[in-house]
Amino acid sequence: MIKAILIFNNHGKPRLSKFYERYSEDTQQQIIRETFHLVSKRDENVCNFLEGGMLIGGADNKLIYRHYATLYFVFCVDSSESELGILDLIQVFVETLDKCFENVCELDLIFHVDKVHNILAEMVMGGMVLETNMNEIVTQIDAQNKMEKSEAPTGSKQYHPTRGQCLQLPAPPPRLRKKPRSLTLWCQPLIASSKCTYRH
């Protein structure tokens, strides 16, 4: 069973955390910090799984991770899960994100966290793997997107909850449409720097 799915960047900032067991908010933050310290200090040429930290269950659990560009994808699982199976699941998750966001990067996970959670929910529910076929996952996400668009107001109008009316939003100025130079690091595509070979 999958106990938790964590995504954090090279500095330990969490970008997604999904726990399938009940932990207090403070314990969750401690687990994220402990997991980051365990994973980030490992050398690039060692295997991608290790014993879980004391807070997540110690030797009874495993941390299985992959490092893409600026992000670590970490699955905390119990001993019944296959390490190679979870590595494949991480790869499918990242490739699905890449297909849904077209060259996914860290900023996509920050600004579209609801969509990332929807993609994850298509793959894992209650700590159990539901789907590993990327095409099937993308089909379901596309269906959700079409449903959202059909229910959304037309044009660039947006519903204002306090006034109960739709507001006409102006187009952003041209200088805001460009990507700021300071965000270049966050916009590194994840797939471009992925390593597709397993290290044992």
pLDDT at 148: 84
Residue 102 has phi, psi (to 5 degrees) of 55, 90
pLDDT at position 61, please? 86
Q: Which long-range contacts (CB under 8 A, 24 or more apart) does 107-113 make?
A: 107/183, 107/186, 107/187, 109/7, 109/15, 109/16, 109/71, 110/15, 110/186, 113/16
Q: What is the pLDDT of residue 176?
A: 43
Place of tokens 């110690």: 58
Walk along the chain (200 residues) and give the pLDDT tens digit of each residue: 999 999 999 999 999 999 999 999 999 999 999 999 999 888 888 888 888 777 677 777 899 999 988 899 999 999 888 899 999 999 999 999 999 888 888 888 889 899 999 999 999 999 999 999 999 999 999 998 888 888 876 555 554 444 444 445 455 555 444 444 444 455 666 665 544 444 44
Q: For residue 91, what pLDDT is reported? A: 93
Q: What is the pLDDT of residue 192?
A: 58
**Which secondary-structure segment (H or E) carries 125?**
strand 124-125
Query: For residue 151, what pLDDT is reported?
Result: 82
Predicted local confidence at residue 200, as pLDDT: 44
- Name every residue whose Cβ is closer than 8 Å to that of residue 26 and which is 6 or more positions away in sequence: none
Kindly report the pTM of this predicted structure: 0.74
14: nearest Cα among 90, 122, 109: 109
| Interatomic CA distance for residues 70 and 187, integer angstroms | 9
